Chains A and B, each alone.
Chain A
Amino acid sequence: MDYSSHPLLNHSPSSLRANASYPQSSSFTRQNLFQAINSALKHSLRTDERTLVFGEDVAFGGVFRCSMDLATEFGSERVFNTPLSEQGIVGFAIGCAAQGMKPIAEIQFADYVYPAFDQLVNEAAKWRYREGDTGGHIGGLVVRMPCGSVGHGALYHSQSPEALFTHIPGLRVVLPRSPARAKGLLLASIACNDPVIFLEPKILYRAAVEQVPTEAYEIPLSQAEVVKEGKDMTIVSYGQPLYLCSSAIAAAEKDFGISVELLDLQTLYPWDKQTVLQSVQKTGRAIVVHESMINAGVGAEVAASIQEGAFLHLEAPVQRLGGWATHMGLAFESFNIPDVTSKLLR
């Protein structure tokens, strides 16, 4: 994948200006994904003294450099390393949030979030509900984690566990596709009064570079974006596969003379069903694409919802495209994630 000229990224300020998501008066700067995340963290630390940033190896900048220079600028009380314990990190973060802070906790790899699963599912998600009228909540909690395949991560540096969290009412699950989307979505997640799981496709940390507004801005959660309009088919995706979809669409439109609409879900739960249904009602066809395994994945929920909400408009069964139901064996990675071939030749 060549990101350097990919049309999904804003290579010039003019494409940013054409998108109403971004502040129009802002200046721009070229950033990759980790730099855009860093800008969002920095903005929050600078403007809100309640913000804390912590996790394993966060103080020196993090293994993916997202927290670079933050400890130096904001001090070791607000940006710090934790001991190596994911359940500890998330439990600690929940406690901070319960006491009115805005903790942004980093899990070093999404593959290692499972020790914290109980804290996320049983505690973070249910906090507001069980507190009821006491007024307690943990809005302000954001748990960030790098996810997805990079081609050599094998079993434990490749996972995209978003579907495990989209099953959980009470959590918001966000997964951005690019630096500029990430900055706005992360700032919206930090501002949000519900706990947010923020997954970052780690292959894009350095590879995806685009113009990003230097000002702060929020991209609303639970809203999908129509990345490209089309008439004959809808492709729903999120994160890294959007680049594949976009390339495949370009090829298909050329080869078959069709017109394809591309949607980025952006927030995977609670998700923007309406935008998806509207699109499918118009096009009559839908494919849902994600990198994670197909079984009980996000695609299952989206496909079922399309079937419920746009059945009479459908010209063909909804297709799902995702990783095979196996693990990410090192030698087999290139066969295991959706690519242009598996998408076009089905």
Chain B
Amino acid sequence: MLLRNPLRAQILQRVPRRQTRWSSLSQRPGSDRVHFPGAVSSKFTTKLSFEHPSTHPAMPTYRVMDSDGVVVDESRKPSGISNEEIVTWYRNMLTVSIMDLIMFDAQRQGRLSFYMVSAGEEGIAIGSASALVPEDVIFCQYRETGVFKQRGFALSDFMNQLFANCKDAGKGRNMPVHYGSGKLNIHTISSPLATQIPQAAGAAYALKIQALQNPDVPPRVVACYFGEGAASEGDFHAALNIAATRSCPVVFICRNNGYAISTSTLEQYRGDGIASRGIGYGIDTIRVDGNDIFAVREVTKEARRMALEDGGKPVLIEAMSYRVSHHSTSDDSFAYRAKVEVEDWKRRDNPITRLRKWMQHQGMWDEEKEKEARSQIRKDVLKAFAEAEKEKKAPLRDMFTDVYEDLTEESRGHMKELGRLLDDYPEEYDVNEFEGGRKGLSEP
């Protein structure tokens, strides 16, 4: 009876968590629409015509300023942001880029095992992170150093992780750049690509349920970063679909930098980027110019707001940029792309240069400030570097701890056995770099 009332039926359709999206009532005779459960309002047609992706225009890319730092549409100029805040973003971008240069070289000198830079993508990380609140939960891929910086990860935190020393929260277990911080609500980065995406959906669902169960906690979202290459993994598709069906307050942020190691986007997918997929999953989606920090911030802020609407829903952002650098210290990208291509991009556009130009137009930045900032940041990075490099590694016991909440009998046995080996063959192992040396293997 209720469903026969059109108004009531409409209301029911708008309730986001209705279990059935179609009524079991039989179709009205002469209806112009398909009434299949799997496609609720598809019109009948007698025209035999396939949809051609090429006839759909590419999704537009939102921007606020052009590559010269000039606001394109005065009505959309940045507002409500203090100059200090903008300078902080700028300094954070500079910090990431200066740290990247230093650490890349340090790896080349053999002082750390591995490194990945974010050159060209600093604006995506810092712009998006600036739009989140500290309580929001973040999952990263690995090229989001700026997210950590913007949220307050200290230079010493970066360096302790990079040198896998005893002050690293990850206890020296993870490869460099796999940062994590409980305090900053950023889960530790994991190497297998895309695994964090369905996890982000689940985490967002947890936040949603917790907000329902405890209305006193302010609503939170999850932000989840990944590359356009990672978006080919099954986990990406599983994640968007489950986030949509469970109405999870999660903002998916795809960094489309044109490459997945050597694989260009042409070999990665044939659709209109990653953004077009969001539509297929029923997810509100936007494409943004990743070199425009104002645009990235604005879009993320709006996405965050939308994600909390109607009891929660996912939003997809595709942030376009170019991977200026090699994939990692293990990669030489000139084996698969021309140097001029990279030089071209570097000249044409860069998120840091763009913001600097904008700040100069505003009269809030100049050559002198630039020089002063760069030299101060460089000094700070090198100081943190030197301090972290001389720290000991975590104690040997941390090789075995945290596999389970408590050490198992099996692990105790293995620790004893390793201890015996260290005692019997002291010349075979160097335990001195580790806190407590041989003693660091025993339980505290």
Q: Kindly identify, within residues 210 to 261 of chain B, every residue whose CB is under 8 Å from any CB belonging to chain A.
A: 210, 212-213, 222, 234-235, 237-239, 241-242, 245-246
With a cutoff of 8 Å between Cβ atoms, the chain A residues found around residue B19 in the complex are: 59, 76
| A88 part of interface (Cβ distance < 8 Å) | yes
**Closest chain B residue to A95, Cβ basis:** B202
Decide: B206 and A122 in contact? CB cutoff 8 A.
no
With a cutoff of 8 Å between Cβ atoms, the chain B residues found around residue A220 in the complex are: none
| B180 part of interface (Cβ distance < 8 Å) | yes
| B170 part of interface (Cβ distance < 8 Å) | yes
Q: From A89, A96, A194, A222, give the contact of B405 (CB < 8 A).
A: A194
**One of B68-76, B94-102, B184-192, B322-330 contacting the partner:** B184-192
Decide: A88 and B241 in contact? CB cutoff 8 A.
yes
Separation of A93 and B238 alpha carbons in the complex (Å) = 13
Q: Kindly identify, within residues 124 to 153 of chain B, every residue whose CB is under 8 Å from any CB belonging to chain A.
A: 137
The interface bits of chain A over 125-141 (1 if a CB of B lies within 8 angstroms of the residue's CB, else 0) are 01011111111110100
Give how many A-B residue pairs fall within 8 Å (CB-CB). 168
Q: From B173, B205, B410, give the contact of A270 (CB < 8 A).
A: B410
Decide: A77 and B403 in contact? CB cutoff 8 A.
no
The interface bits of chain A over 78-95 (1 if a CB of B lies within 8 angstroms of the residue's CB, else 0) are 101011010111111111
Separation of A98 and B185 alpha carbons in the complex (Å) = 11
**Closest chain A residue to B242, Cβ basis:** A88
| A49 part of interface (Cβ distance < 8 Å) | yes
With a cutoff of 8 Å between Cβ atoms, the chain B residues found around residue A83 in the complex are: 238, 241-242, 245
With a cutoff of 8 Å between Cβ atoms, the chain B residues found around residue A49 in the complex are: 213
| B268 part of interface (Cβ distance < 8 Å) | no
| A237 part of interface (Cβ distance < 8 Å) | no
Decide: B203 and A96 in contact? CB cutoff 8 A.
yes
**Closest chain A residue to B186, Cβ basis:** A134
Separation of A300 and B198 alpha carbons in the complex (Å) = 35
| A193 part of interface (Cβ distance < 8 Å) | yes
Question: With A122-B195, A134-B180 given, is the CB distance from A85 to B409 under 8 Å?
Answer: no
Decide: B192 and A98 in contact? CB cutoff 8 A.
no
Separation of A95 and B235 alpha carbons in the complex (Å) = 13
CB distance from B230 to the nearest CB of A (A): 13
Separation of A267 and B224 alpha carbons in the complex (Å) = 35
Q: Kindly identify, within residues 326 to 362 of chain B, every residue whose CB is under 8 Å from any CB belonging to chain A.
A: none
Separation of A193 and B188 alpha carbons in the complex (Å) = 19
CB distance from A269 to the nearest CB of B (A): 9
Decide: A88 and B198 in contact? CB cutoff 8 A.
yes
Decide: A193 and B245 in contact? CB cutoff 8 A.
no
| A99 part of interface (Cβ distance < 8 Å) | yes
Separation of A85 and B234 alpha carbons in the complex (Å) = 9
> How many residues from A make CB contacts under 8 Å with B?
52
| B402 part of interface (Cβ distance < 8 Å) | yes
Decide: A132 and B173 in contact? CB cutoff 8 A.
yes
| B171 part of interface (Cβ distance < 8 Å) | yes
Question: With A100-B210, A123-B192, A134-B180 given, is the CB distance from A95 to B203 under 8 Å?
Answer: yes
Decide: B168 and A91 in contact? CB cutoff 8 A.
no
Decide: A98 and B405 in contact? CB cutoff 8 A.
no
**Closest chain B residue to A119, Cβ basis:** B195
**Closest chain A residue to B241, Cβ basis:** A83
Decide: A92 and B198 in contact? CB cutoff 8 A.
yes
Decide: B169 and A99 in contact? CB cutoff 8 A.
no
Separation of A82 and B206 alpha carbons in the complex (Å) = 15
Decide: B241 and A128 in contact? CB cutoff 8 A.
no
Decide: B403 and A91 in contact? CB cutoff 8 A.
no
Decide: A91 and B199 in contact? CB cutoff 8 A.
yes
CB distance from A138 to the nearest CB of B (A): 9
Q: From A80, A89, A94, A136, give the contact of B182 (CB < 8 A).
A: A136
Decide: B409 and A94 in contact? CB cutoff 8 A.
no
Q: From B182, B183, B205, B409, give the contact of A96 (CB < 8 A).
A: B205
Decide: B209 and A101 in contact? CB cutoff 8 A.
yes
| B425 part of interface (Cβ distance < 8 Å) | no
Separation of A132 and B183 alpha carbons in the complex (Å) = 13
Separation of A149 and B168 alpha carbons in the complex (Å) = 48
CB distance from A62 to the nearest CB of B (A): 16
Separation of A80 and B199 alpha carbons in the complex (Å) = 17
| A115 part of interface (Cβ distance < 8 Å) | yes
Decide: B182 and A92 in contact? CB cutoff 8 A.
no
The interface bits of chain A over 198-222 (1 if a CB of B lies within 8 angstroms of the residue's CB, else 0) are 0000000000000000000000001
Q: Kindly identify, within residues 401 to 422 of chain B, every residue whose CB is under 8 Å from any CB belonging to chain A.
A: 402-405, 408-410
**Closest chain A residue to B171, Cβ basis:** A132
| B204 part of interface (Cβ distance < 8 Å) | yes
With a cutoff of 8 Å between Cβ atoms, the chain A residues found around residue B316 in the complex are: none
Decide: B173 and A130 in contact? CB cutoff 8 A.
yes
| A239 part of interface (Cβ distance < 8 Å) | no
Decide: B169 and A133 in contact? CB cutoff 8 A.
yes
Separation of A138 and B405 alpha carbons in the complex (Å) = 10
Q: From B212, B213, B242, give the contact of A82 (CB < 8 A).
A: B242
CB distance from B185 to the nearest CB of A (A): 10
Separation of A132 and B178 alpha carbons in the complex (Å) = 12
Decide: B403 and A99 in contact? CB cutoff 8 A.
no
| B200 part of interface (Cβ distance < 8 Å) | yes
Decide: A91 and B190 in contact? CB cutoff 8 A.
no
Decide: B199 and A98 in contact? CB cutoff 8 A.
yes
Decide: A270 and B408 in contact? CB cutoff 8 A.
yes
Residue of A80, A130, A273 most packed against chain B (CB within 10 A): A130
Separation of A92 and B238 alpha carbons in the complex (Å) = 9
With a cutoff of 8 Å between Cβ atoms, the chain A residues found around residue B319 in the complex are: none
Decide: A94 and B202 in contact? CB cutoff 8 A.
yes
| A15 part of interface (Cβ distance < 8 Å) | no
Separation of A96 and B205 alpha carbons in the complex (Å) = 7
| A52 part of interface (Cβ distance < 8 Å) | yes
Decide: A91 and B235 in contact? CB cutoff 8 A.
yes
| B264 part of interface (Cβ distance < 8 Å) | no
| A170 part of interface (Cβ distance < 8 Å) | yes
Separation of A331 and B301 alpha carbons in the complex (Å) = 60
CB distance from B417 to the nearest CB of A (A): 11
30 contacts between A and B (CB under 8 A): A77-B209, A82-B245, A82-B246, A85-B238, A87-B198, A87-B234, A88-B242, A91-B201, A92-B201, A93-B202, A94-B198, A94-B202, A95-B201, A95-B206, A95-B222, A96-B202, A98-B187, A98-B203, A99-B202, A115-B234, A122-B190, A122-B192, A131-B187, A134-B181, A134-B183, A134-B188, A135-B182, A169-B403, A270-B408, A273-B410
The 6 tightest CB contacts between A and B, nearest first, are A95-B202, A91-B198, A88-B238, A99-B206, A95-B199, A92-B202
With A85-B238, A87-B198, A88-B198 known, 7 other A-B pairs at CB within 8 A are A82-B242, A92-B199, A119-B198, A129-B403, A132-B180, A139-B405, A270-B410
